[in-house]
Structure 1
Amino acid sequence: MSELQGKVIAVTGAGSGIGRALALGLARRGATVALADRDEAGLAETVRLLGNYPCSYRVFDVTDHAALKAWIDAVPAEFGGLDGIVNNAGLSVVAPFADCPRGDFDRVMAVNFDAVVEGCRQALPHVKARAAAQGAGWIVNISSVFGLMGYPTQSAYNASKYAVRGFTEALHLELLETDPNVRVIRVHPGGIKTNVARNAKVVAHMPGTPADLDSAAAFEKAARTTPEDAAETILRGMEAGRHRVLIGPDARFVDWVVRIFPVSYWKRIGHFLGAGEGR
């Protein structure tokens, strides 16, 4: 029996990709899921796929912190508690930093980092209370392989995912001292076949890039891992209480190369990675 059975887990970005796969995987392990996404149609499809599994859902943008707080506070009221949250919602913009509009950069930071922090801020009191009473709780923040390495045209995404990594590491160390039953997990997916690349706003590519480059198609071709496989890896990490979860052979490869060659990694692996963006 999974340790997640009978738990109540909130998931943002549940309308597609890893978020949808997590919702289904959690439900199949016996958890009750509370789901959020700004994509009403996508979220409705996730709920349809859940069938008779217990769930609740709400449509809002995670950058609306009042709506985020209201959603998180509603979960214990409806289900009797909140055992964990997966801060999964994310987006990307493709542009060298010099060409990236301030509004686009700030939007990526607001979704990928600020909303993660706010989700933790609002969920943590509920999760700590349940963990103290029942022995386990979870804070799961989705970083990226781009939280392990820099990538041209991804300054905003890199900044947000490195920030998630650092924030989650600090929170992990703090709660080890104060609330050791709360498992704080940072997740670094490699190339996952999700909508992040497909929905990314493309502002500009690096000089010399072919004018007809379809970066989303290039990423889709290079992506090695399905959302279902990614979700299964995350769920196993939650059950095992691992602080750091790498998803996919590309993430493990990048992690190894960056550790061995912290200064010159791009010269060694840049040509293998090609063009693209996303998790």
Structure 2
Amino acid sequence: MKSFNNKVAAITGAGSGIGQALAIALAKQGCNLALSDVNENGLANTVTLLQAYPVKVTRQVVDVAKREEMASWAKSVVDQHQQVNLIFNNAGVAIGSTAKGVSYEDLEWLIGINFWGVVYGTKEFLPYLKQSGDGHIINISSMFGLTAQPTQSAYNASKFAVRGFTEALGQELDIEKLGVSATCVHPGGIRTNIAKAARINNSVTSLGMDPAKSQDAFDKILRTPAEEAAALILKAVQKNSRRLLIGANAKAVDILQRLMPQGYQKIFATATALQARFLK
């Protein structure tokens, strides 16, 4: 897909962050938009920001963790736009907790959004993308889908799963040769609201960490603007890239994992312990 002009893109999590930035970047290139988010106010704000562009914009409040809502939305997108060419499975949430301390309820909540939301978005939109003959699936993983970190077992599990799912999907689409591709995106340190909205429980104190201070410290490493991330994602689609690393953090983590597939775990454990002491 070399041009987004007159295409139709569906975006989950479009009420803020990367989702909102993608919507604006695509509108500037003449792409029509179908937007969803669980936050109605955020979604309305994005639509307001798009009024300056001569493209068709539809919106729907959708919980990506509910398959029936995703199926209904996908059908609605095609009914309203007559086609769909791109699905950006972007919606995501975070939890800070030890593996022992995370509740089943929180784990199911996170996996429902971060992984099942990607699965539902992919499977419900894929038939329509194939009908277009020029389709692309963009699934947002994370640098946490490359390596594991203390307090991130739930988030790691979801993002590792997105990576595996998308890479297998991409190979299948290559074999089928039906005009649809898939890209797995690994952002690192993008300036969004995900850190502020993350659920952090007191189990992290068993690792010597202060929940509030740890959340603030994580928020400070989010340096890459969402607009920059969106631009890189769209370039990756145009290049038909299978994998995209965004930001110095993601690239450094990828190199470390390649050089030290086991040893990086000791480095991260030591760094986490030192950070906990420093933040006290």
Shorter-chain TM range is over 0.9
Mapped contact 2:150–2:269 kept (Cα < 8 A):
no
1:155-200 deviations in whole A, cap 9, x for unaligned? Answer: 1110000000000011000000103521200000001111111101
Structure 1 residue corresponding to 2:177, chosen from 176, 179, 199 = 179
1:45-90 deviations in whole A, cap 9, x for unaligned? Answer: 1001111432110012111211111111111111110101000000
- Identical counterparts, % of pairs: 42
Partner-residue secondary structure (3-state), 2:191: coil
After TM superposition, give the deviation of residue 210 of structure 1 in Å. 4.3
1:34 match: 34
Partner-residue secondary structure (3-state), 1:85: strand
2:223 match: 224
After TM superposition, give the deviation of residue 2 of structure 1 in Å. 5.5
1:44 match: 44
- Counterpart CA distance in 2 for 1:212 and 1:13 is 26
Find out whether 1:12 has 2:12 as its counterpart: yes
Q: TM-score, normalization: structure 1?
A: 0.92
- Counterpart CA distance in 1 for 2:41 and 2:212 is 29
1:21 match: 21
Structure 1 residue corresponding to 2:111, chosen from 105, 109, 112 = 109
Amino acid at match of 1:15: G
Mapped contact 2:201–2:211 kept (Cα < 8 A):
no
Find out whether 1:72 has 2:70 as its counterpart: no
After TM superposition, give the deviation of residue 129 of structure 1 in Å. 1.0
- Counterpart CA distance in 1 for 2:229 and 2:124 is 26
Mapped contact 1:127–1:137 kept (Cα < 8 A):
yes
Mapped contact 2:150–2:268 kept (Cα < 8 A):
no
Amino acid at match of 1:228: E
Mapped contact 1:13–1:90 kept (Cα < 8 A):
yes
1:187-231 deviations in whole A, cap 9, x for unaligned? Answer: 000011111111011113152434364233211211121111111
1:248 match: 247
Between the two proteins, the alignment pairs up a number of residues equal to: 271
Amino acid at match of 1:34: A
Q: 1:210 to 1:77 in 2, by over 3 A?
A: closer
Listed as ranges, the gaps of 5+ residues in structure 1 are none
Q: TM-score, normalization: structure 2?
A: 0.92
Comparing 205-214 with 24-33, which one deviates more in the overlay? 205-214
- Counterpart CA distance in 1 for 2:102 and 2:75 is 36
- Counterpart CA distance in 2 for 1:186 and 1:77 is 28
- Counterpart CA distance in 2 for 1:168 and 1:17 is 22
2:129 match: 127
- Counterpart CA distance in 2 for 1:272 and 1:180 is 46
1:134-165 deviations in whole A, cap 9, x for unaligned? Answer: xx211000000000000111111100000000
Moved runs in structure 1, 4+ residues, more than 6 A? Answer: none
Mapped contact 1:36–1:43 kept (Cα < 8 A):
yes
Mapped contact 1:2–1:29 kept (Cα < 8 A):
no
Structure 1 residue corresponding to 2:200, chosen from 199, 202, 218 = 202
Mapped contact 1:96–1:206 kept (Cα < 8 A):
no
Amino acid at match of 1:167: F
Supply the RMSD in Å over aligned alpha carbons.
1.7
- Counterpart CA distance in 2 for 1:179 and 1:124 is 13
Mapped contact 1:188–1:251 kept (Cα < 8 A):
yes
Structure 2 residue corresponding to 1:155, chosen from 153, 176, 188 = 153
- Counterpart CA distance in 1 for 2:98 and 2:30 is 44
Amino acid at match of 1:242: S
- Counterpart CA distance in 2 for 1:245 and 1:166 is 14
Partner-residue secondary structure (3-state), 1:97: coil
Find out whether 1:56 has 2:62 as its counterpart: no
Listed as ranges, the gaps of 5+ residues in structure 2 are none
- Counterpart CA distance in 2 for 1:208 and 1:120 is 37
